[in-house]
Structures are given as C-alpha cells and as structure tokens.
C-alpha cells in the first residue's frame, strides 16, 4: 500500500552519521553479520550496521575497565571541562542530532529538537556537579577517633537504553557516570542506534580518553549482551530504562556479582482532574503529557481520571485540540505528531481500544490506522466513560489512546490510581491546595506533577517506586548512584589540647 515518501535529511555535520560501534577509541565498522536501521515512517533502510559478536561486548568491558584505572584519578575539574565540551558540541549540532532522532525514531522534528536540548542539559548539569561530590565528617563515640567519608566512582557502568528517547536516556545516565569518574559501555536499542553513535563521536571530540565512552551494537544478541554486562565482575553497575519484565531479568542476572543497579521501568501514569481545576489548562497539559511522542513515553498519561461532573466538557475540549493534530513524517515541518515505532505498538493500541469499547466506553475521537501515510501511522483515539474494569487501567498502552475514566470522590480516585504494581509518575489538577497536597502525598509514585503535564528537567530527581524501579537520575541525587561511600577512620589520636 502506498504511503508518504521518505525524506532524507540533510546534515551540516555528516561526521555524526557513524557506520559502526565505538570501542576503546576505535570505530568498528565490520562484522560477519549486519542489521538494518529503518525509518519507521516509511520502513526504508537508512543505515546498515555491524551486528557484533559476543566477543565485542567483552572487548568493550575490558577497555572500559582498563580506562577506569586512569580516568578515576582525573580531577573533577578535568571531567567537568570534558562534560562542558560535550554539552557545547551537542548544542552546536542540535539540528543534526534532532534529525537523526526523527529519522530513526519517527517523532516530530520539533519534539526531537526538544529532546536534544533536554539531553544536552544533563551534560551541562553534571559538568557542574562533578566538582561538588562532598563527603561528611563524623565524630565517633570513641573520643580518640575521628572519621570522615569520601565518595568514589563505582567503576565500569553498563548502560542499556530504549528506543523512545535515543539520546536523552543515554545522557541522563552517562552524564552522572562520567562526572563521578566512571567509564561506560552503552548498549542502545537496535531500532535507534544512530543517536548513540553520534554521542560517541562527540564524546571523542570533547576530549574523553579512549575506553571511557564505548557503544556496542547488536540486533540479534541483545539478551546475550545484557547477560555479559550483568555477569561480568568488571562491570560494577547496571543502569537500565525499559520494561519491568526485562528489569527483573537483569536484576536476577546481576545478583551473581552483587552489582549496583538503577532501573527506570514501566509507568502507567494516572492523571487526576478534579472539577475545580482550570479546565482549559488541565486539557492542554493532559494533551502535552498524553501525546508527547504519541504516548510512547514512560511518564505519559495512561489513565486519565476526570471527575464525573466535568468529564463530558473535558472530553469535548480535549477532542477539539486532538483533531487539530497534523500527523505526518517527522521531518515534515508541518507535522505535529509522527508515527509509532512499529506494528506491535499499533496492535497494542487497537487491543486496548477494542477492550474498552466492548466494556462500555464511549467514542469521542475514533482515530485509527492511517494506511495512506504508512504502516506505522495511527491517529489518536479518545474514549470517554471508560470503565475501571478496562484493561487500560492495568496495562500501560504506550501509544495514542486517551482513556477518560470517571470518578466521584477523592478517596475513590486515589484508590484507582494506586491500584497498580507500577509507580513512576502521576498528575493532579486542582485549584485547591489542600486537594493537591493531600492527593500528592497519597499517590504511590516516585514523581507527582501538579497542574502541569511536563515536568522533566535535569534539576529534579527522576525515578519511580514499586515495580517502576529504583534509583534517581538528574538533580543533586543523580550522581550518588554512580558512587560508593568510603568511610575513613583515624584512631588513637592524642587528647585535644
């Protein structure tokens, strides 16, 4: 079936398009097997990369371990300078880096540009945090002893990243690791590896020594690569963003070496809109959360609880804005929303829509596939009066289904919101500060966003609770997960003068 034709971006800096992995300061462009990277909007092949053997991941680990011996001894100021260089290089190449994201991920170029700036901000932030890793002083009960703590880098870090934010999910982790004095081995998703390779190129230009920043590639051996990172005694930490199921597997595999772990896992974020909220604001902010990346984000709105007295007016206003979306190729300047990542993503949306309708939901915006554009295009669906028994309440859609679920009381909706094993982000809309504060404290999520649909930035801690994982990225806390605390005690000192 004919669809929109592919758009090949023009790059000012063609060096950003790499053809192989980056290990020990070398570009590895050949392998006995290869895999294709495709534009999800057209399914056209945009790159053919080496599908590397398991030996390459071990080479990368060995390289990172060797580099760590010297990198950990660099001064915080030196690491800060390199991180600042990397930030500057990303900002100098914003347009090209955004085009790469859109080309391999499918999101609209305006969103991709926002991601690059967001991603770069973590290198800027950690350039400043690198020189602020403080210890503590302690007075032991033994009067002749003194004690203090220092933070030291944990060691080689395995970084396993998803496809939905192919740049930002790397920088949030690598920025903290590099600032602390750790070296990294990055395993990007095989659907979106070009952004990771561009970052490796810029890290080299920024001055990082060889072996400090490594990127490995595979499409067919992802489980084996993950196992190698988890079981290697040379790797001291794993940071992973992805599904809860895979996180549990990695956690089990890492137990053999007692690794330090940071996991950002499934979301299933609830939005709660009370009838005293600013309705226009609540609608606009809900749309920003729900349809960022067409719903393919870990913190996007999945279950939208609207107080029954306003659900019809909320749905009407929301539908009006959704109907103004321009769906198209992400590199088209007129496009507001691009395509989904693959066929399976569309099938999951369709299954959730079908289930909700069979259980009594009302159609507000029908949405559906857009075959005239391409196989992975789907216009957003908006459903109202979705029953609490619908599968969307339990299973994260990760796509453009906007499910509006009615509620009556605060106690009722908090129960709905917390009735899940996940707990990453949540949203509350109300003009009443008592309501906002009470509900925010009661919600079982790592982050609560009140009266805004977009909250992520490098200055605040990002992470979840329950089966959404543990550890925090960003903020003053983010670097802590890449360090260990060493306590130093000096004993048998002479009595004070």
Residues with a catalytic annotation lie at 264
> Within 13 A of 459's CA, how many CA atoms are on the CB side?
1
Entry field: residues in the chain: 497
158 close to 237: Cβ distance less than 8 angstroms: yes
283 close to 317: Cβ distance less than 8 angstroms: yes
- Phi and psi for 309 in degrees, rounded to 5? -65, -20
Query: CA 134: distance to chain centroid?
Result: 27
3-state helix, strand and coil shares in percent for the chain, rounded to the nearest 5: 40, 20, 40
Find the distance separating the first CA and the last CA of the chain, reported in whole Å. 89
Inter-CA distances, 91 with 116, 122, 123, 161, 296, Å: 8, 12, 11, 22, 25
Nearest to 365 by CA among 323, 333, 328, 312: 323
Residue 466: count other Cβ atoms within 10 Å of its Cβ: 18
- Quick one: three-class SS letters along 205-255? HHCCCCCCEEECCCCCCHHHHHHHHHHCCCEEEEEEECCHHHHHHHHHHHH
């Amino acid at each position: 079936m004919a669809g929109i034709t592919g758009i090949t971006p023009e790059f000012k800096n063609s060096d950003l398009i790499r053809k192989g992995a980056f290990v020990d300061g070398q570009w590895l462009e050949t392998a006995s097997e290869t895999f294709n990277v495709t534009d999800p909007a057209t399914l056209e092949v945009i790159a053919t990369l080496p599908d590397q053997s398991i030996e390459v991941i071990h080479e990368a680990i060995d390289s990172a371990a060797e580099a760590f011996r010297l990198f950990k001894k660099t001064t915080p100021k030196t690491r800060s300078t390199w991180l600042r260089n990397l930030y500057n290089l990303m900002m100098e190449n914003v347009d090209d880096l955004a085009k790469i994201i859109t080309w391999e991920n499918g999101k609209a170029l305006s969103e991709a540009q926002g991601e690059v700036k967001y991603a770069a901000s973590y290198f800027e932030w950690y350039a400043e945090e690198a020189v602020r890793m403080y210890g503590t002083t302690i007075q032991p009960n033994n009067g002749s002893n003194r004690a203090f703590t220092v933070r030291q880098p944990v060691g080689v870090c395995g970084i396993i990243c998803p496809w939905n934010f192919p740049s930002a999910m790397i920088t949030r982790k690598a920025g903290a690791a590099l600032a602390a004095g750790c070296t990294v081995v990055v395993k990007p998703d095989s659907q979106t590896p070009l952004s990771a390779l561009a970052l490796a190129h810029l890290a080299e230009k920024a001055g990082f020594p060889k072996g400090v920043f490594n990127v490995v590639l595979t499409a067919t051996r992802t489980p084996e690569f993950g196992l190698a990172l988890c079981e290697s005694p040379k790797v001291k930490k794993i940071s992973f963003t992805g599904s809860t199921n895979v996180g549990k597997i990695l956690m089990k595999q890492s137990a053999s070496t007692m690794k330090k772990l940071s996991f950002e896992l499934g979301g299933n974020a609830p939005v709660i809109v009370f009838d005293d909220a600013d309705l226009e604001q609540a609608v606009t902010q809900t749309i920003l959360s729900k349809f960022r990346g067409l719903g393919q984000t870990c913190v996007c709105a999945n279950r939208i609880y609207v107080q029954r007295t306003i659900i019809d007016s909320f749905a009407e206003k929301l539908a009006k804005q959704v109907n103004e979306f321009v769906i198209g190729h992400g590199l088209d300047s007129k496009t507001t929303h691009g395509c989904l990542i693959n066929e399976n993503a569309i099938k999951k949306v369709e299954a959730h829509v079908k289930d909700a309708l069979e259980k009594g939901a009302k159609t507000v915006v029908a949405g559906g596939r857009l075959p005239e554009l391409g196989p992975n295009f789907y216009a957003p669906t908006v459903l109202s009066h979705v029953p609490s028994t619908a599968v969307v309440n339990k299973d994260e859609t990760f796509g453009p289904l906007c499910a509006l679920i009615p509620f009556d009381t605060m106690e009722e909706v908090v129960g709905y919101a917390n009735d899940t094993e996940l707990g990453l982000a949540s949203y509350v809309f109300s003009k009443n500060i008592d309501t906002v504060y009470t509900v925010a404290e009661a919600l079982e999520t790592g982050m609560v966003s009140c009266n805004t649909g977009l909250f992520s930035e490098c200055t605040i801690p990002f992470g979840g609770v329950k089966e959404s994982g543990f550890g925090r990225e960003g903020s003053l806390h983010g670097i802590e997960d890449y360090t260990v605390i060493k306590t130093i005690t000096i004993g048998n000192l002479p009595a004070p003068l």
